[in-house]
Chains A and B, each alone.
Chain A
């Protein structure tokens, strides 16, 4: 794998010419950090079955990576990467994934959210059931957190940057 010496300017965020950007350190470090944060979120997510973790925590961490991106590269860029319609869809899909797992258990003759009936082996059922549930939680929590940020961030501020 060849690492390019000079990275081509990405077509995304407008990077000011070198030297004039006071936030260059932020930009560089966050570009390094954001993927790691997202990766850590998935670690927490899939580790959640045996150790501390799970959908709630993972969802918040994943949302943090997006929010950090928005803080550094601007809200418009973040909305291009993770558009608001996707956020709304994610909120619904997560809930439906969660509830849908319960409904499938219903249809298979068990109680609501009784994962044991999902598979012939009840232990398997519990395992895959909780993974589906946690995936639903992850989707919803990520979307809701980002939705909060978008909702508050999109309001017209009446304090100018210079007033801070």
Chain B
């Protein structure tokens, strides 16, 4: 049976949530039935993704032929060192978010919309996993849209809590669709140049053509812009703060930890697997455009985060800044840079997911959205605030946390290339992170709790988050510390394998 999962695992993790989403959508509104179904499905997917990852580590990359059609003509799903860990990451974050979602969605989404909510959630999971495992360029677009369209609905479901979710979802829809359309135009140009849609085949043909003609270059530009919109590359990030701030809290946590990460994975794939940095135009674009945008984004978005009053908007702008770190790793075009970028991708998913879960729990208990309202949380919700603090340290990059590991890796990569200014920018952005995260922690720990949180005898009343919320956020906080302490063992190996697959030649 386990060998069946090995052979069919790649298809299984996409198909199971896709089909179960259809069933979940029509489940009766019996208490928790839809939630339970979704949780079981995503847990199963995470388990299979784990088996697939282990198989990949033991046996190397493998391809699944969809419908028995041979690539390059048929659609193939490929598992290799780059996408297996990301698939596991998406599924695992799905589980963490779903565990948290039960109480959160109960309070944020109307009863009759809960079954569709979980159906859309499963669709989103299926789409993201599909984007990650597929080896066919057009199939990427289809899964990209499956995940995006379900995301638009998920974001809009925050309207019950805050009506701004509607306009945020609409903006996201417009920009997301433009991004996806740009992407598909790029695929069209690549198809015109190479006559194939299989990414491995495309790579071969483009390499034979030595980068191809201007058609391929135009395709490259469109793909880069399209993916840039999806992953919130700095000037194309305007949809992100609204979508993160007003969607239901569980959705924010899931989106922040997976959606932009899957798009970033696609950027790795297209920049390094389909195209190759040995082509002039790719190298020039990565070095001068992507790096520049990454650096500007890191500083500018961090500054914007500093001036937000809404806690979730702060973290959303921080996400844009963190995407800058990952793009900087890509712009370095070196194995070390990719290792740093990949590490940061995984770390940031864990950390930002956890932070949004903590903020969600604070909203659940006290309806907190603004930083100034976080006063006294260190006393009223000590465990949540402790988890928040650990994760915030990790985001800043304090030693022995996840953020430190990846930021050091990125700085080392920049030094290797001789980019001292990049190290300086990493430092500046980290200091800004210290300021905006520190601002929240200051309020939470050192401001007295509001009068409403006090008992009748004037003592502080503890109102900790429910257990289902505490478990995933503590789990993520512990994970981030574990990565910080022991990350050089397992995760570093995974990232190095991924970087070696992406850049077999070792970069510039």
Contact = CB atoms under 8 A, between A and B. Distances in A.
Report A-B touching, CB under 8 Å: yes
A99 B18 contact: yes
Contacts of B67: 105, 111-115
A58 interface: no
Contacts of B68: 110-111, 114, 116-117
Contact of B22 (A95, A110, A114): A95
7 contacts: A92-B26, A96-B23, A99-B18, A105-B67, A111-B64, A112-B15, A117-B68
Nearest to A113: B67
A36 B435 CA distance: 69
B22 A99 contact: yes
A116 B68 CA distance: 8
Nearest to B77: A112
A89 interface: yes
Interface in B166-192: none
A91 B116 CA distance: 13
B23 A92 contact: yes
A59 interface: no
Contacts of A110: 68
A88 B8 CA distance: 30
A149 interface: no
A73 interface: no
A46 interface: no
Given A99-B15, A99-B18, A102-B15, A112 B23 contact: no
B505 to A, nearest CB: 33
Contacts of A103: 15, 19
Contacts of B15: 99, 102-103, 112
B26 A88 contact: yes
B335 to A, nearest CB: 35
A96 B15 CA distance: 11
B199 interface: no
Interface string A57-95: 000000000000000000000000000000011011001
Contacts of B290: none
Nearest to A95: B22
B61 interface: no
**Chain B contact residues (Cβ within 8 angstroms of A): what range?**
10 to 19
B206 to A, nearest CB: 28
B65 interface: yes
A128 interface: no
B11 A96 contact: no
What does DSSP make chain A's interface, helix, strand, loop or mixed? Answer: helix
Nearest to B11: A112
Nearest to A94: B22
Contact of B26 (A89, A99, A105): A89
Contacts of B293: none
A153 to B, nearest CB: 19
A106 interface: yes
Nearest to A122: B68
B236 interface: no
A100 B23 CA distance: 12
Which of under 10, 10 to 19, 20 to 34, or 35 or more describes the interface residues of A?
20 to 34
B225 interface: no
A99 B19 contact: yes
A91 B115 CA distance: 15
Q: Which of B19, B65, B66, B68 has the most CB of A within 10 A?
A: B68
B25 interface: yes
Residue among A92, A100, A102 with most chain B CB within 10 A: A92
A96 B8 contact: no
Interface in B381-412: none
A92 B23 CA distance: 6
A88 B15 CA distance: 21
Contacts of B64: 111
B22 to A, nearest CB: 4
Contacts of B26: 88-89, 91-92
A113 to B, nearest CB: 4
Contacts of A102: 15
Contacts of A96: 19, 22-23
By Cβ-Cβ distance, the 4 closest A-B pairs, closest first, are A114-B68, A95-B22, A113-B67, A99-B19
Interface in B20-45: 22-23, 25-26
A95 B68 CA distance: 21
A114 B11 CA distance: 12
A133 B305 CA distance: 49
A113 B66 CA distance: 7
B127 to A, nearest CB: 14
A85 to B, nearest CB: 9
Nearest to A114: B68
B65 A111 contact: yes
Given A99-B15, A102-B15, A112 B66 contact: yes
Interface string A108-147: 0011111111000000000000000000000000000000
A118 to B, nearest CB: 11
A87 B67 CA distance: 29
Max chain A Cβ within 10 angstroms of own Cβ: one of B15, B22, B64, B65:
B22
A94 B19 CA distance: 11
Interface string B54-86: 000000000011111000000000000000000
A140 to B, nearest CB: 9
Contacts of A116: 68
A114 B76 CA distance: 13
A100 B19 CA distance: 9
A30 to B, nearest CB: 31
A119 to B, nearest CB: 14
Nearest to B65: A111
A110 B64 CA distance: 11
Nearest to A140: B22
Contacts of A95: 18-19, 22
A111 B22 contact: no
A91 B19 contact: no
A67 to B, nearest CB: 22
Contacts of A92: 22-23, 25-26
Given A88-B26, A89-B26, A96-B23, A111 B8 contact: yes
